[in-house]
Chain A
Amino acid sequence: MSALPAVPPPSRAGLVSARLALRWLIAGEWRAHPARFLLTAVAIAVGVALGFAVHLVNGSALASFEGAVRSVNGAADLQVRAASSLGFDEALYPDVARAAGVSDASPVVVLDARADGAEFTLLGLDVIRAARVSPSLVGLNSSGPDRSRDSIFSAETLFLSRAALAATGRAVGDTLEVSANGRTVPLRIAGILDGVGEGQAIGTMDIAAAQWRFDRLGRLDRIDLALADRRAAENALTPLLPPGATLSSEDSEATRGANLSRAYRINLTMLALVALLTGGFLVFSAQSLSVARRLRAFALVRTLGLPRRGIVAAVALEGLLIGVVGGVVGLLAGWSLATLALRWFGGDLGAGYFSGAATKVVVSPLAALGFFGLGLLSALLGSVLPARAASRAAPAAALKTSGDMADPRKPVPWKPAAALLALGTLASFLPALNGVPVFGYAGMALLLAGGVAGVPWLARRLLGPLASARIRRPAALLAVRHVHGAPGEAATALCGIVASTALMIAMATMVTSFRVAVDDWLAQVLVADVYVRAEGAGGIDPEAQASLAAVPGIARVEFSRQLPLSLAPDRPPVTLLARPIDPAREGGLLVLVEGPAEVPAGTTPVWISEPAARLYDWSPGTEIALPLGENARFAVAGVWRDYARQSGAVMLDEADYARITGDATRDEAAVTLAPGADAGAVSAALLAAAPPGSTVARPAELRAFALDLFDRSFSVTYVLEAVAILVGLAGVAATMSAQTVARVREFGMLRHLGLEKRTITAMLGLEGAILGGVGGVAGVALGAVLAQVLIHVINPQSFNWTMDTRWPIGTILAVVAALVMAAALTAMVAARRATAPQAVAAVREDW
């Protein structure tokens, strides 16, 4: 021994000096069980990828929307905007231009235009003024054959942004048939708007020509302002503005766009994070089993002198590596996913918030770092929790036993689960924070944690009667006793799938309830036989109304008007609905959820939708301010159910609307057929009598269209749910398999006692089915509670809609059956490996 090399001196005290040993322990484990590490890293990667992709899609859509706002506004300091598409009187312009603090003012007419299948925003501008206030909107830098500056004042010319020009497929110098506000006008493309951002479809023309040729004489939609003193201008302008006009800045408009889709985006992000949560649970399951398998190894190194925290450090380092690999792969996959999603579904993933916005992926390094951090945190937490438990085991005892000391008499703790569930319930009752259901989500997270923590207790309770029953078949007896005696193992295997099943059932219940409510509502709303719509055709003027009313076979026709009405600059506009209201007639007042209420004398009664009541805190009987008409007063006569307009709607009688606004144009006609009339023939006659571009639809078609739109809005949520369930099932498969292989000595003993292989396989299959059943019951029970939070807290606080609960019984049964079968099959496949004679020698505790 004297010839031996000397013992190397210790380098430093603490864990740093043990880094070589830690490295060996981790690398050895990875070499021995690569599949486990790969699966856990993939689970984290899937979660990070989904979360990051949804965030990128949302962020890119918003960036594109903000770009569109900037382009259309042309960098004005402040704007006076019309509250509705009726515009405001142009007589306001000189007062605004002369107001204190305003250095220059540019009047604008805004029209939704179409030409050659392309849609773009057509702005009518006073070029001289616009050049000073919003120069990017002026086609001074025209290119092409006609470079004459006179063309910008011509009533026949049009300047297009590059995106609009490309969409029409025309070239500078060509003449286009441009339709807007029910008029179609030939305009020559005189040049390109170089100052407009990429991808933004905008056209400009002379304001006088726009007013004259598109029937907007005397009306303005906007006045763009250049300011000398912002505060002075705001003070001076506020009292000048009539009810139909508001002050608005680029920021408030961008906020309005962001607010419109905020709830949808937050909900989608939360749903995407479910996959990450499930991934974290999968890491927890895998690391728990890995730690349990290595209890003796950990006991050995602790006996040899590794401090207690060294065990935690070793497993945490494993988690860190899983998190880093999963995070990096997840970010790359998320970026690819976002690129594909934007290409296939658009910036709103089919929900219809940002239609027409051409988007490209906008990567935020901070967001990437955030999602990477979340992935890392999931993997770390999933690793540290079992490691801490392992580090507390007494090394001497752990060296003597395998750590498998199931004791059916040991009480299962229930207080932590009950505390979490109670806290979650309390949090769910708290109101939204700044319009976001923060406490609702926190409540769901706490309920989820409590539910998962309560699985061992539930397993013990559910299996109690079975465990004490006289079971004759050995396979059934052993299976029941094992799961009953070691419910903690069940919780380890099931935590991920319980979480994802619960959320899937909650989402499915919410979507089913919502869909049924929408379907019922459509049946109540669509009471006419045929609907004529002229939204894209500039409306139905009185002449067209008379033509429609004269179509043979009609018993009654009711015309209505729908206009966006801006109530606050930073909120999306509400929809103003003007239609004949007869409270006595079916469909006359739609479906009231509050009211009817008496309104104060001298006020015009309006009926507000449920979202409008929640958003603006209006209640029946109270007087409200609407930017409509001069000196008109309005009061809420009732609240009606509306699932069509998330930003709220205000309805008033058509006669009141005509009296207050003088607007005789209508957008829609609801036609009731005379008895015996042929619906097809009447529809054809109505289409012929309606303005060009109108559409005719029957209630069944409208209902199918609405439900199709509904299903498309939720299609992404189905995909995200399915991924979470798949990750959860992978967790069950992995943990069932690992637990089975880890019990190979027990099976060997049972074989020696005379149990046949098929009996052991049946026992494990039954254990799997029992575990799947327990997971299913836990998932359904938890899902039912979470569904109530979604329906009665998250949904009203996010979207301002309420509904009754409808249970998707078929989905629930299918999910539970799939879970039971997956768990049983996985256990049986693992049992075949664990009991195969040739596998006994070669079996490596891996999966």
Chain B
Amino acid sequence: MHSDTALAPPPIVPARTAGILAVSGLAKSVPAGRQLFSGLDLAVAPGEVVAIVGESGVGKSTLLNILAGLDEADRGEVRIEGAAIGPLDEAGRTRLRRERIGFVFQAFHILPYLTLAQNVALPLALVSADQPRIEARALAMLEAVGLGDRGASYARDLSGGELQRVAIARALVHEPALILADEPTGNLDPETAGRVLDLFAREVRSGDAAAVIVTHSRATAAIADRVLVLTAGGLRPADA
């Protein structure tokens, strides 16, 4: 999935290493003082899908925000493709998200006033004005998720499952190293959720990217290569 084309600015992270995501000794408490988690370690390899489960309020979404550089940890280190994100300023983290991370949300967040092709192309349009190439790639991504003929449609014309497929296409369109998904099937019925998850896992693995999914759903967790439970003491395997 990684393009041969070199990025014009110097890359934020060095060339892909054996582990795409490496987290060590991460700790986070909420402003009221309650410790969410501490001593959290995690490593995710290329082509690997990791599911993180846990009770409500344990800090799953907060962990995801820290991995994306949208929130700060109290302690510990997060490395993406070998580079620590802690020392990066806001602009550096923004660029990291733009170039190396893809997102899938529970509520899809497909912008209603853009066409589906434009929604998918949005991450590319943030870094390039080469509209023909961007649109060609976005349409190809839509084709890959089974919506090749819907590029000119709008969000209101699609079902929930279709919208989440659009969101997956958007998460992968710029060939990110890491895909972060927050309850990606939370708004879908089980049958649709199953199809969407299969698609998600297939696309992640074929692109040699790494994915972290936080979820309540056992069915969602079932597609992952590893399932980890988030507790106040960190992550532990689900079967442990």
Closest to B173 in A: A7
Nearest CB in chain A to that of B1: its residue:
A1
Which of B17-25, B46-54, B80-88, B127-135 lies at the binding interface? B127-135
Q: Is the beta-carbon distance between A10 and B127 smaller than 8 angstroms?
A: yes
A300–B94 alpha-carbon span in the complex (Å): 12
Residues in B with CB closer than 8 Å to A1 are: 1, 144, 203, 206-207
Tell me whether A301 and B126 are in contact (CB under 8 A): yes
A17 to chain B: closest CB distance in Å? 5
- Across the two chains, which residue of chain A brings its CB closest to B100? A305
Is the C-beta of A752 less than 8 angstroms from some C-beta in chain B? no
What are the interface flags for A305-317 relative to B under an 8 Å C-beta threshold, 1 for contact and 0 otherwise? 1111000000000
Given contacts A4-B140, A8-B133, A9-B5, 5 further A-B contacts (CB under 8 A): A5-B133, A6-B133, A20-B129, A301-B126, A305-B94
Q: How far is the CA of A19 from the CA of B133 in the complex (A)?
A: 15
> Is there contact, CB below 8 Å, between A9 and B128?
yes
Is A305's CB under 8 angstroms from B95's CB?
yes
A-B pairs with lowest CB-CB distance, top 7: A305-B98, A28-B113, A21-B125, A10-B127, A32-B113, A20-B125, A8-B133
Chain A residues closer than 8 Å to B68, beta-carbon distance: 303, 396
**B111 to A304, Cβ gap below 8 A?**
no
Contact B203 A8 (CB under 8 A): no
Question: Does B91 belong to the interface (CB within 8 Å)?
Answer: yes
B136 adjacent to A5 (CB under 8 Å):
yes
Question: How far is it, in angstroms, between the C-alpha of A304 and the C-alpha of B94 when the chains are bound?
Answer: 8
> What are some 12 contacts across the A-B interface (CB < 8 A)?
A8-B134, A10-B127, A13-B8, A18-B125, A20-B125, A296-B109, A302-B94, A304-B103, A306-B94, A396-B61, A396-B70, A399-B107
Q: Please determine whether A303 and B122 come into contact, CB atoms closer than 8 angstroms.
A: no
Binary A-proximity of B165-205 (CB < 8 A = 1, otherwise 0)? 00000100111000000000000000000000000000100
Residue contact A10 to B133, C-beta cutoff 8 Å: no
Answer yes or no: A550 CB below 8 A from chain B CBs: no
Residues of A within 8 A of B109 (CB): 296-297, 300, 399
Given the contacts A5-B137, A6-B4, A304 and B123 also touching, CB distance less than 8 Å:
yes
Main secondary structure of the interface of A (DSSP, over half): helix
Given A17-B129, A32-B113, also A305-B97 (CB < 8 A) = yes
Q: Are the C-beta atoms of A303 and B128 separated by less than 8 Å?
A: no
Is A409 in contact with chain B by the CB < 8 A criterion? Answer: no
Cβ–Cβ < 8 Å partners of A300 in chain B: 105, 109, 111
Check A7–B118 contact: CB distance below 8 A: no
The CA-CA distance from A21 to B94 in the complex, in Å, is 15
Cα of A18 to Cα of B98 in the assembled complex, Å? 11
Q: Count contacts between A and B, CB distance < 8 Å.
A: 130
Q: Are A10 and B90 in contact (CB under 8 A)?
A: no
For A308, the chain B residues whose CB sits under 8 A away are 90, 94
Report Cα–Cα, A4/B134, bound state, in Å.
Answer: 11
In the complex, which residues of chain A have a beta carbon less than 8 angstroms from the beta carbon of B129?
Answer: 11, 17, 19-20
A614 to B94, CA, bound (A): 63
Closest to A33 in B: B113
Select the residue from B126, B140, B170 with max chain A CB neighbours within 10 A.
Answer: B126
A9 to B124, CA, bound (A): 9
State which of B112, B122, B128, B137 has its C-beta within 8 Å of the C-beta of A11. B128
> Which residues of A have CB within 8 Å of B225?
none
**Chain A residues in 8 Å Cβ range of B174:** 7
A352 → chain B, closest Cβ, in Å?
55
Closest approach, in angstroms, between the C-beta of A394 and any C-beta of chain B? 7
Establish whether residues A10 and B111, one from each chain, have CB atoms under 8 Å apart when the complex forms.
no
Residues in B whose Cβ lies below 8 Å from that of A473? none
Docked complex: A286-340 residues within 8 A CB-CB of B: 296-297, 300-308
Shortest distance from the beta carbon of A306 to any chain B beta carbon, whole Å? 6
Residues of B within 8 Å of A4, CB to CB, are 137, 140-141, 144
Asked whether, in the complex, the Cβ of A304 is within 8 Å of the Cβ of B97, the reply is yes
A25 to B122, CA, bound (A): 10
B105, B170, B175: which contacts A7 (Cβ < 8 A)?
B175
| B15: interface (CB < 8 Å) | no
Q: How far is the CB of A317 from chain B (nearest CB, A)?
A: 15
> Shortest Cβ distance from A337 into chain B, in angstroms?
36
Complex Cα distance A300/B107, Å? 11
Q: Determine if B105 and A24 form an interchain contact, defined as CB atoms under 8 angstroms apart.
A: no
Q: Would A9 and B7 be within 8 Å (CB), given that A18-B125, A24-B125, A304-B122 are in contact?
A: yes
CB A24 to nearest CB in B, in angstroms, measures: 5
Interface residues of B in 121-160 (CB under 8 A from A): 122-131, 133-134, 136-137, 140-141, 144
Interface size on A, as a range, is 35 or more
Return the chain B residue nearest A305 by Cβ: B98
Docked pose: A297 CA to B7 CA in angstroms:
27
Q: Is A395 an interface residue (CB 8 A)?
A: yes
Please, how many angstroms separate the alpha-carbon atoms of A9 and B9 in the complex?
9
Chain B residues whose CB sits within 8 angstroms of the CB of A304 once the complex forms: 97-98, 103, 122-123, 126, 170
A31 interfacial by beta-carbon distance below 8 Å: yes
A7 to B94, CA, bound (A): 19
Docked Cα-Cα span, A304 to B3, in Å, equals: 19
A562 to B144, CA, bound (A): 94
**Cα distance A306–B140 in the bound complex, in angstroms:** 23
Complex alpha-carbon distance, A807 and B51, angstroms: 72
Query: With an 8 A cutoff between CB atoms, is B71 at the interface?
Result: yes
What separation, in Å, do the CA atoms of A301 and B170 have in the docked complex? 12
Instruction: For B111, list chain A residues within 8 Å (CB).
Output: 25, 28, 297, 300
In the complex, whether B99 has a CB less than 8 A from a CB of chain A is yes
Asked if B137 and A394 sit within 8 Å, CB to CB, the answer is no
Chain A's closest residue to B130 (CB) is A8
A395 with B137: CB separation less than 8 A: no
Residue of B nearest to A303 (CB): B103
| Alpha-carbon separation in the docked complex, A29 to B118 (Å) | 13
Q: Is A12 an interface residue (CB 8 A)?
A: yes
Chain A residues contacting B9 (CB-CB under 8 Å) are: 10, 13
Chain A residues in 8 Å Cβ range of B8:
9-13
| B137 and A8 form a contact (CB under 8 A) | yes
A residues 407-464 in Cβ contact with B at 8 Å:
none
Q: How far is the CA of A584 from the CA of B99 in the complex (A)?
A: 94
A31–B111 alpha-carbon span in the complex (Å): 13
Determine the distance from Cα of A265 to Cα of B139 in the docked complex, in whole angstroms.
61
B125 cross-chain contacts in A, Cβ below 8 A: 18, 20-21, 24
Q: Which residues of A contact B123 (CB under 8 A)?
A: 304-305
Q: Tell me if B128 and A24 are in contact (CB < 8 A).
A: no
Residues of B within 8 A of A25 (CB): 111, 114
Q: Does B240 contact A (CB under 8 A)?
A: no
| B32: interface (CB < 8 Å) | no
Q: Are A8 and B124 in touch, CB under 8 angstroms?
A: yes
Check if A307 sits within 8 Å of B91, measured CB to CB.
Answer: yes
Given contacts A7-B5, A10-B7, contact A399 B127 (CB under 8 A): no
Most central of B111, B140, B144 by chain A CB within 10 Å: B111
A residues in contact with B140, CB < 8 Å:
3-5
The minimal Cβ–Cβ distance linking A845 to chain B, given in whole angstroms, is: 9
CB distance from A401 to the nearest CB of B (A): 11
A5 to B4 alpha-carbon distance, docked (Å): 11
Of A10, A297, A307, A394, which one neighbours B128 at CB under 8 angstroms? A10
Neighbour of A306 across the interface among B4, B65, B71, B126, CB < 8 A: B126
Q: Which residue of A lies closest to B137 (CB)?
A: A5
Cα-based distance from A7 to B3 in the complex (angstroms):
6
Give the docked Cα–Cα distance between A616 and B94 (Å).
66
Contact status A305-B7, CB under 8 Å: no
Rounded to whole Å, the gap between the CB of A293 and the closest CB of chain B is 11
Tell me which residues from 553 to 573 in chain A have a Cβ below 8 Å from any Cβ of chain B. none
- Measured between alpha carbons, how far is A84 from B203 in the docked complex, in Å? 96
Given the complex of chains A and B, what is the CA–CA distance between A467 and B99 in angstroms?
50
Residues of B within 8 A of A13 (CB): 8-9, 95
Q: Using CB atoms, name the residue of chain A closest to B71.
A: A396
Q: Which residues of A contact B70 (CB under 8 A)?
A: 303, 394-396
Point out the residues of chain B lying under 8 angstroms from A394, CB to CB.
70
Shortest Cβ distance from B108 into A: residue:
A300
- Report chain A residues within 8 Å CB of B134: 8, 20
With known contacts A28-B114, A296-B109, A18–B127 Cβ distance under 8 A: yes
By a CB distance below 8 angstroms, the chain A residues around B114 are: 24-25, 28
